[in-house]
């Protein structure tokens, strides 16, 4: 099994997530893109862990999953609250916090 394929897949996933985060205005899509980037990182870590024969990368991937789960809880709650008050899920509309 060639690890290069996994790394390339991880890079592709990261680029898709990054691209989605920067071009989509819907807060939910942007949120999904962030999750995609996290998983791309997880995939890279697991791959490197396999290459080096250690468990560090896999443990780190677990931590990322746990944190991501917590983040989803908080993030979705925020998005729903904003949607309720402003009737919009567009990230460009939520620009009150500025200079």
- Is the four-CA dihedral 94, 90, 43, 77 of positive or negative sign? positive
Nearest CB to another protein, comparing residues 74 and 96: 96
**Residue 15, Cβ neighbours under 10 Å: how many?**
13
94 binds another protein, rule: CB under 8 A = yes
The answer to the question of residue 84 lying near another protein (CB under 8 A) is no
CA 51/CA 35 separation, integer angstroms = 24
In sequence order, what are the residues at sequence separation of 6 or more whose Cβ sits closer than 8 angstroms to the Cβ of residue 64?
Answer: 38, 41, 42, 45
Compare residues 44 and 91 and give the one whose CB is closer to another protein: 91
Query: CB-wise, 30 or 61, nearer to another protein?
Result: 30
Q: Which of 4, 85, 87, 95 contacts another protein by CB under 8 A?
A: 95
From the list 22-30, 44-52, 65-73, 74-82, the region that binds another protein by CB under 8 A is: 22-30
Picking from 32, 52, 44, the residue whose alpha carbon sits closest to that of residue 5 is 44
Minimal distance, residue 30 CB to another protein, in Å: 7
> Which residues is 90 bridged to in the sheet?
26
Residues making contact with another protein (CB under 8 A): 18, 21-23, 25, 30, 91-92, 94-99
């Amino acid at each position: 099994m060639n690890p290069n394929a996994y790394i390339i897949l991880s890079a592709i996933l990261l680029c898709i997530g990054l691209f989605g985060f920067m071009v989509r205005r819907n807060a939910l899509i942007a949120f999904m893109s962030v999750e995609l980037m996290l998983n791309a990182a997880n995939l890279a870590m697991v791959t490197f862990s396999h290459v080096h024969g250690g468990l560090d990368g896999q443990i780190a991937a677990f931590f990322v999953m746990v944190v991501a789960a917590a983040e989803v809880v908080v993030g979705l709650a925020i998005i729903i609250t904003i949607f309720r008050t402003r009737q919009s899920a567009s990230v460009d509309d939520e620009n009150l916090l500025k200079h």
